[in-house]
Amino acid sequence: MKIMDLAIRTAISATVAVSGVIHAYLYIHGYRDIPAVGPAFLVQGSVFCALAVLILAGGPGWLQLCAAIGAACSLVAFALSRTVGLFGFTETGWEPSPYAAITVVVEVLTLVLVVTAAVRQRPRASKDLLPGLRPDGAAEPSARQR
């Protein structure tokens, strides 16, 4: 259903945008001075904002894959920062509140939505994977015709 696809795409774009904007905001307001983690926030913010725009614009599926990978990495980094530390940087609990909590929620949503979208794409994807077959299974005339 096209509307559904559009809705999912918009939702993914939104979650990615929120995560990117929050990382960018935190970078501006103090995180820039943290070694390694600071620049990483800048990269995350920039990449995610860019992805959000392009996903909303209807870009290819690998954009969403990148968003999912990015979200997963962000979540891992967050977990590390609360436990063993990330490049020596640690924080406790859900600081900075409420940004940390919002970002986690949004990134998990990104993962969920991207997987959902990918699953929905499956039936159509098989058509592209086997270019020689028509949907009903009959063979396409070979394109290698002179």
Partner 1 sequence: MSAEHDPDGMTRRQLMRHSAWFGAAVVLTVAGGEVISHVAGSAGAAQPAKPALRFAQISDSHIGFKGPANTNVTDTFNHAIGQINGLDYTPDFVIHTGDLTHLATPDQFDQVKHMLGELNTPHVFTVPGEHDSTDDAGQKYRQAFGAGTRGDGWYSFDIAGVHIIGLVNTLNMQKLGHLGADQLEFVEKDVAGLSSDTPIIVFSHIPLFAMYPDWGWGTDDATQALSYLKRFSSVTCLNGHVHQLFSKTEGNVTFYSATTTAYPLPAPGQGPAPKPVTLPAGKLRDALGIREVSYTKGQQSLALKDQKLT
**Would you tell me which residues interact with partner 1 (CB under 8 A)?**
20, 24, 27-30, 32-33, 42-43, 45-47, 49-51, 53-54, 59-60, 62-63, 66, 128-129, 131, 143-144
Residue whose CB is less far from partner 1, 90 or 126:
126
* Residue number, 82 or 96, with CB nearest to partner 1: 96
Q: Which residue, 131 or 137, is less far from partner 1 as judged by CB?
A: 131
> What minimum distance in Å lies between the beta carbon of 84 and partner 1?
28
Could you tell me the two tokens for 42?
Answer: 């800048």
Q: Which residues pair with 89 in a beta bridge?
A: 86
What is the sign of the dihedral through the CA atoms of 51, 56, 57 and 60? Answer: positive
